[in-house]
């Protein structure tokens, strides 16, 4: 069972982290409206490292090293920007 969990986390952990970081940042943005806009992308690597740490504590399997987790957090920020730009381009924002 533990080996199956490790395999599952290996397969979906990194993409899930990339998708989760923008969602967490959106939640923080709603909860703390006085947070400066420049701070939101700066939080992405920290949130990803924290997410990887929590997954490691709960499951005993780490998604990535802290450096890779930070890069995945930045990738999540990039993904959010791509979605925002596409919404603006197609006039749905």
Write out pLDDT tens, residues 17-67. 889 999 998 899 899 989 888 888 889 999 999 988 988 888 787 887 889
Angle, vertex CA 69, rays to CA 68 and CA 73, nearest 5: 115
Domain-wise residue ranges, the chain: 2-89
Comparing CA positions, the residue from 65, 25, 28 lying closest to residue 49 is 65
Q: Whole-model pTM? A: 0.79
Query: Whats the size of the chain, residue-wise?
Result: 93
Residue 92 — pLDDT band, cuts 50, 70, 90? low
| Token pair in block for residue 12 | 């979906």
Q: Is the pLDDT of residue 2 over 90?
A: no
pLDDT at 6: 76
More confident residue, 93 or 54: 54
Comparing CA positions, the residue from 22, 17, 77 lying closest to residue 49 is 17
Residue with tokens 């399997």: 61
């Amino acid at each position: 069972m533990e080996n199956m969990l490790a395999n599952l986390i290996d397969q979906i952990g990194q993409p899930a982290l990339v998708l989760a970081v923008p969602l967490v940042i959106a939640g923080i943005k709603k909860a703390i409206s006085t947070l400066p806009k420049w701070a939101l992308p700066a939080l992405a690597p920290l949130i990803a490292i924290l997410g990887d740490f929590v997954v490691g504590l709960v499951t005993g399997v780490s998604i990535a090293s802290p450096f890779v987790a930070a890069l995945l957090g930045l990738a999540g920020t990039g993904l959010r920007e791509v979605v925002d730009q596409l919404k603006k381009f197609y006039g749905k924002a």
